[in-house]
Chain A
Protein backbone atom coordinates (compact mmCIF):
# COMPACT_ATOMS: atom_id res chain seq x y z
CA UNK A 1 0.00 0.00 0.00
CA UNK A 2 2.74 2.43 0.99
CA UNK A 3 4.52 1.93 -2.30
CA UNK A 4 1.44 3.25 -4.02
CA UNK A 5 1.31 6.36 -1.89
CA UNK A 6 3.12 8.58 -4.34
CA UNK A 7 1.75 6.96 -7.47
CA UNK A 8 -1.09 9.46 -8.05
CA UNK A 9 1.21 12.45 -7.49
CA UNK A 10 4.10 11.20 -9.60
CA UNK A 11 1.94 9.86 -12.41
CA UNK A 12 0.11 13.19 -12.55
CA UNK A 13 3.37 15.14 -12.66
CA UNK A 14 4.75 12.96 -15.45
CA UNK A 15 1.69 12.13 -17.52
CA UNK A 16 -0.38 15.33 -17.42
CA UNK A 17 1.16 16.94 -20.54
CA UNK A 18 0.73 13.63 -22.38
CA UNK A 19 -3.05 13.94 -22.11
CA UNK A 20 -2.91 17.23 -24.00
CA UNK A 21 -1.10 15.32 -26.74
CA UNK A 22 -3.89 12.75 -26.79
CA UNK A 23 -6.53 15.48 -27.12
CA UNK A 24 -4.64 17.02 -30.04
CA UNK A 25 -4.14 13.66 -31.74
CA UNK A 26 -7.86 12.87 -31.56
CA UNK A 27 -8.70 16.26 -33.03
CA UNK A 28 -6.14 15.72 -35.79
CA UNK A 29 -7.63 12.33 -36.68
CA UNK A 30 -11.09 13.86 -36.90
CA UNK A 31 -9.73 16.60 -39.14
CA UNK A 32 -7.90 14.10 -41.34
CA UNK A 33 -4.50 15.44 -40.34
CA UNK A 34 -1.47 13.59 -38.98
CA UNK A 35 -1.23 16.00 -36.05
CA UNK A 36 1.64 17.02 -33.80
CA UNK A 37 3.69 14.41 -31.94
CA UNK A 38 2.00 12.97 -28.86
CA UNK A 39 4.80 14.43 -26.75
CA UNK A 40 4.57 17.94 -28.23
CA UNK A 41 3.54 19.51 -24.88
CA UNK A 42 6.79 18.23 -23.29
CA UNK A 43 8.86 19.68 -26.14
CA UNK A 44 7.11 23.03 -25.72
CA UNK A 45 7.73 23.05 -21.99
CA UNK A 46 11.45 22.28 -22.33
CA UNK A 47 11.83 24.85 -25.08
CA UNK A 48 10.18 27.55 -22.99
CA UNK A 49 12.25 26.70 -19.91
CA UNK A 50 15.43 27.37 -21.92
CA UNK A 51 14.31 30.82 -23.06
CA UNK A 52 14.64 34.31 -21.61
CA UNK A 53 11.60 36.41 -20.80
CA UNK A 54 9.96 39.66 -21.85
CA UNK A 55 7.94 41.69 -19.39
CA UNK A 56 5.59 44.56 -20.14
CA UNK A 57 6.65 47.89 -18.65
CA UNK A 58 3.14 48.28 -17.24
CA UNK A 59 3.45 45.23 -15.04
CA UNK A 60 4.51 44.97 -11.40
CA UNK A 61 5.68 42.11 -9.20
CA UNK A 62 2.10 40.80 -9.17
CA UNK A 63 2.53 39.76 -12.81
CA UNK A 64 5.76 37.91 -12.03
CA UNK A 65 4.35 36.23 -8.94
CA UNK A 66 1.31 34.93 -10.83
CA UNK A 67 2.82 31.90 -12.61
CA UNK A 68 4.92 30.89 -9.60
CA UNK A 69 2.12 30.99 -7.03
CA UNK A 70 -0.29 29.49 -9.55
CA UNK A 71 1.92 26.48 -10.23
CA UNK A 72 2.62 25.98 -6.51
CA UNK A 73 -1.13 25.93 -5.80
CA UNK A 74 -1.84 23.44 -8.59
CA UNK A 75 0.94 21.19 -7.30
CA UNK A 76 -0.60 21.43 -3.84
CA UNK A 77 -3.98 20.42 -5.23
CA UNK A 78 -2.44 17.50 -7.15
CA UNK A 79 -0.91 16.10 -3.96
CA UNK A 80 -4.41 15.76 -2.47
CA UNK A 81 -5.70 13.59 -5.29
CA UNK A 82 -6.06 9.79 -5.12
CA UNK A 83 -6.00 7.55 -8.20
CA UNK A 84 -8.83 5.12 -7.71
CA UNK A 85 -9.88 3.06 -4.71
CA UNK A 86 -6.50 1.49 -4.00
CA UNK A 87 -4.09 4.35 -4.59
CA UNK A 88 -4.54 6.95 -1.83
CA UNK A 89 -3.26 10.48 -2.27
CA UNK A 90 0.21 11.53 -1.12
CA UNK A 91 -1.42 13.93 1.33
CA UNK A 92 -4.85 13.15 2.66
CA UNK A 93 -6.84 14.25 5.66
CA UNK A 94 -10.42 14.97 6.62
CA UNK A 95 -11.59 18.11 4.87
CA UNK A 96 -8.90 18.13 2.19
CA UNK A 97 -11.55 18.58 -0.50
CA UNK A 98 -12.07 22.21 0.59
CA UNK A 99 -8.35 22.76 0.33
CA UNK A 100 -8.45 21.40 -3.22
CA UNK A 101 -11.28 23.78 -4.15
CA UNK A 102 -9.53 26.76 -2.58
CA UNK A 103 -6.13 25.92 -4.06
CA UNK A 104 -7.80 26.02 -7.46
CA UNK A 105 -9.38 29.32 -6.37
CA UNK A 106 -5.92 30.66 -5.59
CA UNK A 107 -4.71 29.69 -9.08
CA UNK A 108 -7.60 31.66 -10.54
CA UNK A 109 -6.94 34.64 -8.27
CA UNK A 110 -3.30 35.02 -9.31
CA UNK A 111 -3.97 34.32 -13.01
CA UNK A 112 -6.70 36.96 -13.12
CA UNK A 113 -4.56 39.51 -11.31
CA UNK A 114 -1.58 38.85 -13.57
CA UNK A 115 -3.91 39.41 -16.54
CA UNK A 116 -5.21 42.69 -15.12
CA UNK A 117 -1.65 43.78 -14.35
CA UNK A 118 -0.87 44.15 -18.05
CA UNK A 119 -3.58 46.80 -18.50
CA UNK A 120 -4.60 45.11 -21.75
CA UNK A 121 -8.24 45.18 -22.81
CA UNK A 122 -8.02 41.59 -24.11
CA UNK A 123 -6.69 40.21 -20.89
CA UNK A 124 -9.19 42.17 -18.82
CA UNK A 125 -11.95 40.65 -20.92
CA UNK A 126 -10.66 37.12 -20.41
CA UNK A 127 -10.25 37.75 -16.67
CA UNK A 128 -13.81 38.99 -16.39
CA UNK A 129 -15.20 35.86 -18.06
CA UNK A 130 -12.98 33.57 -16.03
CA UNK A 131 -14.31 34.91 -12.71
CA UNK A 132 -17.89 34.75 -13.95
CA UNK A 133 -17.80 31.14 -15.08
CA UNK A 134 -15.81 29.80 -12.19
CA UNK A 135 -18.11 31.51 -9.68
CA UNK A 136 -20.83 29.19 -11.00
CA UNK A 137 -18.59 26.13 -11.26
CA UNK A 138 -17.71 26.44 -7.55
CA UNK A 139 -21.16 25.56 -6.10
CA UNK A 140 -21.56 22.74 -8.65
CA UNK A 141 -18.25 21.24 -7.52
CA UNK A 142 -18.86 21.56 -3.78
CA UNK A 143 -22.45 20.29 -3.83
CA UNK A 144 -21.32 17.34 -5.95
CA UNK A 145 -18.64 16.60 -3.36
CA UNK A 146 -21.25 17.01 -0.60
CA UNK A 147 -23.37 14.37 -2.32
CA UNK A 148 -20.39 11.99 -2.38
CA UNK A 149 -19.63 12.77 1.28
CA UNK A 150 -23.21 11.98 2.25
CA UNK A 151 -23.09 8.69 0.35
CA UNK A 152 -19.74 7.47 1.64
CA UNK A 153 -19.57 9.15 5.04
CA UNK A 154 -16.08 10.38 4.15
CA UNK A 155 -14.92 13.97 4.43
CA UNK A 156 -11.75 13.75 2.40
CA UNK A 157 -10.98 12.96 -1.22
CA UNK A 158 -9.11 9.76 -0.39
CA UNK A 159 -11.74 8.65 2.14
CA UNK A 160 -14.50 9.21 -0.38
CA UNK A 161 -12.70 7.53 -3.26
CA UNK A 162 -11.70 4.46 -1.28
CA UNK A 163 -15.28 4.05 -0.06
CA UNK A 164 -16.77 4.19 -3.56
CA UNK A 165 -17.15 0.78 -5.14
CA UNK A 166 -19.53 -1.46 -7.09
CA UNK A 167 -21.75 -1.58 -3.99
CA UNK A 168 -22.24 2.22 -4.05
CA UNK A 169 -23.40 1.99 -7.66
CA UNK A 170 -25.99 -0.57 -6.68
CA UNK A 171 -27.31 1.72 -3.95
CA UNK A 172 -27.06 5.06 -5.71
CA UNK A 173 -26.19 4.46 -9.34
CA UNK A 174 -28.28 7.25 -10.91
CA UNK A 175 -27.07 9.79 -8.37
CA UNK A 176 -23.42 8.86 -9.00
CA UNK A 177 -23.98 9.20 -12.74
CA UNK A 178 -25.41 12.69 -12.14
CA UNK A 179 -22.42 13.59 -9.98
CA UNK A 180 -20.06 12.46 -12.73
CA UNK A 181 -21.98 14.53 -15.26
CA UNK A 182 -21.90 17.62 -13.03
CA UNK A 183 -18.15 17.12 -12.57
CA UNK A 184 -17.79 16.93 -16.37
CA UNK A 185 -19.37 20.36 -16.70
CA UNK A 186 -17.09 21.74 -13.97
CA UNK A 187 -14.15 20.12 -15.79
CA UNK A 188 -14.99 21.76 -19.12
CA UNK A 189 -15.51 25.19 -17.54
CA UNK A 190 -12.46 25.17 -15.29
CA UNK A 191 -10.17 23.91 -18.02
CA UNK A 192 -11.53 26.36 -20.58
CA UNK A 193 -12.37 23.67 -23.15
CA UNK A 194 -15.05 23.66 -25.83
CA UNK A 195 -18.00 24.40 -25.46
CA UNK A 196 -17.01 27.00 -22.84
CA UNK A 197 -13.83 28.31 -24.39
CA UNK A 198 -11.73 27.39 -27.39
CA UNK A 199 -8.10 26.73 -26.49
CA UNK A 200 -7.02 27.09 -30.11
CA UNK A 201 -8.26 30.56 -30.96
CA UNK A 202 -5.45 32.95 -30.28
CA UNK A 203 -6.30 36.63 -30.24
CA UNK A 204 -9.99 36.23 -30.77
CA UNK A 205 -12.42 38.14 -28.63
CA UNK A 206 -14.08 34.88 -27.72
CA UNK A 207 -11.53 33.31 -25.50
CA UNK A 208 -10.96 33.11 -21.79
CA UNK A 209 -7.88 31.29 -20.58
CA UNK A 210 -5.56 31.76 -23.55
CA UNK A 211 -6.23 35.48 -23.67
CA UNK A 212 -5.29 35.96 -20.03
CA UNK A 213 -1.77 34.65 -20.57
CA UNK A 214 -0.93 36.60 -23.74
CA UNK A 215 1.87 38.59 -22.13
CA UNK A 216 3.64 35.73 -20.39
CA UNK A 217 6.80 34.35 -21.95
CA UNK A 218 9.72 31.98 -21.32
CA UNK A 219 9.75 30.03 -18.04
CA UNK A 220 6.66 31.91 -16.85
CA UNK A 221 4.69 30.60 -19.80
CA UNK A 222 6.12 27.11 -19.19
CA UNK A 223 4.87 27.28 -15.58
CA UNK A 224 1.43 28.31 -16.78
CA UNK A 225 1.21 25.64 -19.49
CA UNK A 226 2.36 22.95 -17.10
CA UNK A 227 -0.08 24.23 -14.48
CA UNK A 228 -2.91 24.07 -17.02
CA UNK A 229 -1.98 20.49 -17.91
CA UNK A 230 -1.99 19.55 -14.22
CA UNK A 231 -5.36 21.22 -13.72
CA UNK A 232 -6.68 19.15 -16.63
CA UNK A 233 -5.36 16.06 -14.84
CA UNK A 234 -6.80 17.05 -11.45
CA UNK A 235 -10.34 17.77 -12.58
CA UNK A 236 -10.25 14.80 -14.95
CA UNK A 237 -9.22 12.56 -12.06
CA UNK A 238 -12.18 13.79 -10.01
CA UNK A 239 -14.52 12.55 -12.72
CA UNK A 240 -12.66 9.29 -13.24
CA UNK A 241 -12.55 8.51 -9.50
CA UNK A 242 -16.35 8.56 -9.50
CA UNK A 243 -16.98 7.15 -12.95
CA UNK A 244 -14.80 4.02 -12.87
CA UNK A 245 -15.61 3.11 -9.28
CA UNK A 246 -18.17 0.56 -10.53
CA UNK A 247 -15.27 -1.69 -11.46
CA UNK A 248 -14.63 -4.22 -8.73
CA UNK A 249 -11.45 -6.09 -7.91
CA UNK A 250 -8.12 -5.28 -6.32
CA UNK A 251 -5.40 -2.73 -6.97
CA UNK A 252 -4.24 -4.65 -10.06
CA UNK A 253 -7.55 -3.84 -11.71
CA UNK A 254 -8.62 -0.46 -10.31
CA UNK A 255 -5.33 1.35 -10.88
CA UNK A 256 -5.07 0.46 -14.59
CA UNK A 257 -8.79 1.27 -14.82
CA UNK A 258 -8.03 4.75 -13.44
CA UNK A 259 -5.39 5.41 -16.09
CA UNK A 260 -7.61 4.02 -18.82
CA UNK A 261 -10.32 6.38 -17.54
CA UNK A 262 -7.97 9.36 -17.77
CA UNK A 263 -7.14 8.39 -21.34
CA UNK A 264 -10.83 8.12 -22.09
CA UNK A 265 -11.50 11.58 -20.67
CA UNK A 266 -8.85 13.04 -23.01
CA UNK A 267 -10.30 11.18 -25.99
CA UNK A 268 -13.73 12.45 -24.98
CA UNK A 269 -12.48 16.03 -24.84
CA UNK A 270 -10.92 15.57 -28.28
CA UNK A 271 -14.17 14.22 -29.70
CA UNK A 272 -16.25 17.04 -28.18
CA UNK A 273 -13.85 19.63 -29.57
CA UNK A 274 -14.03 18.05 -33.02
CA UNK A 275 -17.77 17.73 -33.32
CA UNK A 276 -19.11 20.89 -31.75
CA UNK A 277 -18.40 24.62 -31.65
CA UNK A 278 -18.10 26.96 -28.73
CA UNK A 279 -21.35 28.17 -27.19
CA UNK A 280 -22.13 31.84 -27.42
CA UNK A 281 -20.86 33.46 -24.23
CA UNK A 282 -24.37 34.27 -23.08
CA UNK A 283 -25.25 30.59 -23.28
CA UNK A 284 -22.35 29.33 -21.18
CA UNK A 285 -23.85 30.36 -17.80
CA UNK A 286 -26.93 28.26 -18.63
CA UNK A 287 -24.76 25.21 -19.03
CA UNK A 288 -23.11 25.96 -15.70
CA UNK A 289 -26.47 26.38 -13.97
CA UNK A 290 -27.33 22.95 -15.36
CA UNK A 291 -24.19 21.70 -13.62
CA UNK A 292 -25.36 23.20 -10.31
CA UNK A 293 -28.84 21.72 -10.84
CA UNK A 294 -27.40 18.27 -11.56
CA UNK A 295 -25.35 18.21 -8.37
CA UNK A 296 -28.27 19.45 -6.29
CA UNK A 297 -30.43 16.73 -7.84
CA UNK A 298 -27.77 14.11 -7.10
CA UNK A 299 -27.58 15.36 -3.52
CA UNK A 300 -31.34 15.19 -3.15
CA UNK A 301 -31.44 11.63 -4.49
CA UNK A 302 -28.74 10.52 -2.10
CA UNK A 303 -30.11 12.45 0.87
CA UNK A 304 -33.66 11.30 0.34
CA UNK A 305 -33.43 7.74 -0.91
CA UNK A 306 -30.20 6.37 0.46
CA UNK A 307 -29.89 5.55 4.11
Chain B
Protein backbone atom coordinates (compact mmCIF):
# COMPACT_ATOMS: atom_id res chain seq x y z
CA UNK B 1 0.00 0.00 0.00
CA UNK B 2 1.56 3.33 -0.99
CA UNK B 3 2.32 5.73 1.82
CA UNK B 4 -0.15 8.57 1.98
CA UNK B 5 1.40 12.00 2.20
CA UNK B 6 0.25 13.76 5.34
CA UNK B 7 -1.15 17.25 4.95
CA UNK B 8 0.59 19.96 6.91
CA UNK B 9 -0.36 23.55 7.61
CA UNK B 10 1.49 26.68 6.56
CA UNK B 11 3.22 27.17 9.89
CA UNK B 12 4.61 23.66 9.85
CA UNK B 13 5.69 23.97 6.24
CA UNK B 14 7.44 27.27 6.84
CA UNK B 15 9.15 25.99 9.98
CA UNK B 16 10.64 23.18 7.90
CA UNK B 17 11.36 25.26 4.82
CA UNK B 18 15.11 25.67 5.32
CA UNK B 19 15.48 21.98 6.18
CA UNK B 20 13.54 21.19 3.01
CA UNK B 21 15.68 23.44 0.82
CA UNK B 22 18.81 21.95 2.39
CA UNK B 23 17.42 18.44 1.77
CA UNK B 24 17.89 17.62 5.42
CA UNK B 25 14.44 16.12 6.03
CA UNK B 26 13.62 12.44 5.79
CA UNK B 27 11.71 11.29 2.72
CA UNK B 28 8.27 11.47 4.33
CA UNK B 29 8.83 15.04 5.61
CA UNK B 30 10.29 16.10 2.25
CA UNK B 31 7.14 14.89 0.50
CA UNK B 32 4.91 16.66 3.00
CA UNK B 33 6.58 20.01 2.46
CA UNK B 34 6.72 19.46 -1.30
CA UNK B 35 3.00 18.68 -1.41
CA UNK B 36 2.19 21.74 0.67
CA UNK B 37 4.25 24.02 -1.57
CA UNK B 38 2.55 22.65 -4.66
CA UNK B 39 -0.81 23.63 -3.25
CA UNK B 40 -0.11 26.81 -1.32
CA UNK B 41 0.34 30.07 -3.18
CA UNK B 42 1.26 31.82 0.07
CA UNK B 43 4.19 29.55 0.95
CA UNK B 44 5.58 28.95 -2.52
CA UNK B 45 7.14 32.44 -2.84
CA UNK B 46 9.01 31.83 0.42
CA UNK B 47 10.48 28.66 -1.02
CA UNK B 48 11.41 30.38 -4.28
CA UNK B 49 12.98 33.23 -2.39
CA UNK B 50 14.92 30.89 -0.11
CA UNK B 51 16.16 28.90 -3.08
CA UNK B 52 17.43 32.01 -4.85
CA UNK B 53 19.04 33.27 -1.67
CA UNK B 54 20.90 30.00 -1.10
CA UNK B 55 21.97 29.78 -4.73
CA UNK B 56 23.42 33.28 -4.63
CA UNK B 57 25.17 32.57 -1.33
CA UNK B 58 26.70 29.38 -2.69
CA UNK B 59 28.25 31.48 -5.46
CA UNK B 60 30.93 32.48 -2.96
CA UNK B 61 32.64 29.22 -3.86
CA UNK B 62 33.52 30.68 -7.22
CA UNK B 63 34.29 34.15 -5.90
CA UNK B 64 36.95 33.20 -3.37
CA UNK B 65 39.85 31.03 -4.42
CA UNK B 66 43.23 30.58 -2.77
CA UNK B 67 45.54 33.44 -3.81
CA UNK B 68 48.59 32.13 -5.70
CA UNK B 69 50.93 33.56 -3.05
CA UNK B 70 49.14 31.60 -0.32
CA UNK B 71 49.26 28.40 -2.34
CA UNK B 72 52.99 28.90 -2.98
CA UNK B 73 53.68 29.48 0.70
CA UNK B 74 51.77 26.37 1.73
CA UNK B 75 53.57 24.26 -0.85
CA UNK B 76 56.95 25.65 0.26
CA UNK B 77 56.16 24.84 3.90
CA UNK B 78 55.11 21.32 2.97
CA UNK B 79 58.25 20.84 0.89
CA UNK B 80 60.35 21.88 3.89
CA UNK B 81 58.50 19.18 5.81
CA UNK B 82 59.41 16.51 3.28
CA UNK B 83 56.50 16.64 0.86
CA UNK B 84 57.35 16.07 -2.77
CA UNK B 85 54.94 16.46 -5.62
CA UNK B 86 55.57 14.82 -8.98
B partners with A: no
* Chain A residues at the B interface, C-beta cutoff of 8 Å: none
* Chain B residues at the A interface, C-beta cutoff of 8 Å: none
